[in-house]
Structure 1
Amino acid sequence: MSLWDDARQELDIWANSKLKARFWIRDDDAFEVSSDLERLRNVAVRFDTKIGLAIIPGKITPGLQEFLAENIQHFYPMCHGWKHINYNLGKNPAEFGPDRPISNMIVDAEFALQSFKECFGSSQPIFVPPFNRITPALIKALPQVGFAGVSLMPNHIERKLLQLNSWMKWGGIITMPRFKDGIRIDVHLDVIDWRARTAQNTKIVSNLLVQQLRGRRLGVVPVDTPIGLLTHHLAHDEPIWRAINETLDFLRSHESADFIDVGQWIDGNSAAPQYG
């Protein structure tokens, strides 16, 4: 019995319903060219996908801009905070968390955007908060700063709603509220077990995948909302690299799983309301 059987059965239902599930990959904490980044590029080549690369603008080293220009078909730059500093010492780490004055965070976001655009010239810059934490006040301010949208992880309430729906299969009864502050394109499946600092258990990833798929099929989330796989190339050991390849092998093998070009998706959804 495969650990992916439940996810495969759910995707089979999608296939029987003539539905396509959309997927994408976001990799965090990029700031330099390294053998790990080159290995990530090879993953993008092997699986024929463009990876959203969350780049720390305040830490960019020479060579990264040129590397990404040479690999434009494999990576889509995204703005990963400003300097990836943890200001919440003793608490859950965050660079843009609730303990900082909003004015200070807006200034940092402005610096980040200026530096990011100087390097990559994006007309639709997406803000990716370091440590996947951000105060709602800054989310609302980001469009005025000049960001087109954000890439987050579902919050506690959103995760619980999807989990409950996955158990109860309440199609059409629960729906996520619409996101009104620009584009939102999230990640949902983290391949890393951060406590153990190695690969997440495959069954956990498969169960989360089932929840995300079922939530879309039953209308909790719009069916065409992309499902995001989260990676951190600088933190990968060999089991994590294997887990990424196994997950992508599974998804690429199914007729109902499609990978989006993240840049094209963002351009095409700039005026559309998002869930969140």
Structure 2
Amino acid sequence: MTAGTTEHAAWTALETELDAWAAAGRAAEVWWRDDDAAAPSPALERLLELAARQAAPLALAVIPAKAEDALARLLDGRRADIAVFQHGFAHANHAGGLAQRGAKKCELVDPAARPAVLDELRRGRESLSRRFGRRFLPVLVPPWNRIAAALLPRLPDLGFTGLSCYQARAAAEAAPGLTQVNCHLDLMQWRPERRFLGAEAALGLLSGHLAAKREGRADPGEPSGILSHHAVHDGAAWDFLGELLARLAGHRAVRLAPPAAVFTREVAG
């Protein structure tokens, strides 16, 4: 089949999956997270305009050490369902010497190996709370979607109530008092080159998670998450994201869930 034919088939498969949710009388919960926010930019303004046009709730994962006051001003007057999450602290790799042996990048390492991570997360949370006020939700988004298991039970004591990583969650709580809701469709392919993943692959990820929830193969209480990275989108990524949000918003089975609702209750399957 040609690329156009396979892409059309992927959109049809998503529609068919959503129709199955509607036929079962169930709401397909979908939410949207965008990573690496820090300062106003044409790309971020484009993202916010897209959210407004589609009336789509959005969680902006903001890097505390890089966040500018101008970002808070940019969000002033925007929709109340645009929330701010905490994206690590400085988005810095602390895998240390392990990186030389092929370890993947990680900022949120075991505090036994780097105790400073605890104070950084606390200071980051306090700074975002001061800067963004009610928009800020104490949800931690680990850079590169990686966090040491030993750090998880420490997060509630640092003031965090939520955690968001990537791929289907293993449980509704990553630790007692720490709700976990992940994303399942990353628009970007990162290796061997950074570019849009492609419509067929992207839609397959979203349709696959929705089907797994509907059929009981994945946690039905976890909303299906879209993950974007406004700063690195190419034209194809922007076009796809706009079409995806429009189609989701227009389907009777879909509920685009606000971040606050996602992390303050279990969404019914």
Q: What TM-score results when the alignment is normalised by the length of structure 2? A: 0.86
Q: CA deviation at 1:244?
A: 0.8
Q: Comparing 214-223 with 96-105, which one deviates more in the overlay?
A: 96-105
Q: Does 1:104 align with 2:116?
A: yes
Is 2:206 the partner of 1:194? no
For the pair 1:185 / 2:181, whether they are aligned, the reply is yes
Shift of 1:98: 4.6
Q: Secondary structure at the match of 1:208?
A: helix
| 187-196 or 4-13, which deviates more | 4-13
CA shift for structure 1 position 102: 5.1
Q: In 2, distance between residues paired with 1:128 and 1:239?
A: 25
1:83 maps to amino acid: A
Partner of 1:173: none
Q: Does 1:265 align with 2:266?
A: no
In structure 2, the partner of 1:65 is: 72
Change (3 A) 1:273 1:108: farther
Alignment partner, residue 163 of structure 2: 150
Cα distance in 1 between the residues matched to 2:122 and 2:172: 26
What does residue 162 of structure 1 align with?
none
1:36-55 equivalent positions in 2, closer than 5 A: 36-55=43-62
Q: In the alignment, what sits opposite 1:167?
A: none
Preserved CA contact (<8 Å) 1:189 1:208: yes
Cα distance between partner residues in 2 of 1:58 and 1:178? 29
Equivalent residue, structure 1, for 2:133: 121
Aligned residues: 252
Partner of residue 241 from structure 2, selected from 236, 241, 244 = 244
Q: Is the 8 A contact 1:189 1:229 kept in 2?
A: yes
Give the SS at the match of 1:228: strand
TM-score by length of 1: 0.84
**Which position in structure 1 is the counterpart of 2:147?**
134
SS in 2 for 1:4: helix
Q: CA deviation at 1:69?
A: 2.3
Structure 2 distance, partners of 1:234, 1:74, is 21
- Where do residues 13-32 of structure 1 align in structure 2 (5 Å cutoff)? 13-32=20-39
Per-residue deviation, 1:249: 2.7
Query: Would the aligned equivalents of 2:140 and 2:160 in 1 still touch at CA under 8 Å?
Result: yes
Whether the aligned pair in 2 keeps the contact of 1:22 and 1:257 (CA below 8 Å) is: yes
Q: Which residue of 2 aligns with 1:256?
A: 253
Please state if 1:220 is matched with 2:227.
Answer: no
2:19 corresponds, among 4, 12, 15, to: 12
* Counterpart residue identity of residue 188, structure 1: H
Tell me whether 1:204 sits opposite 2:201 in the alignment: yes
Retained in 2: the 8 A contact 1:102–1:137? Answer: no
Q: Which runs of 5+ in 2 are unaligned?
A: none
In the alignment, the residues of structure 2 paired with residue 258 and residue 28 of structure 1 have an alpha-carbon distance, to the nearest angstrom, of: 22
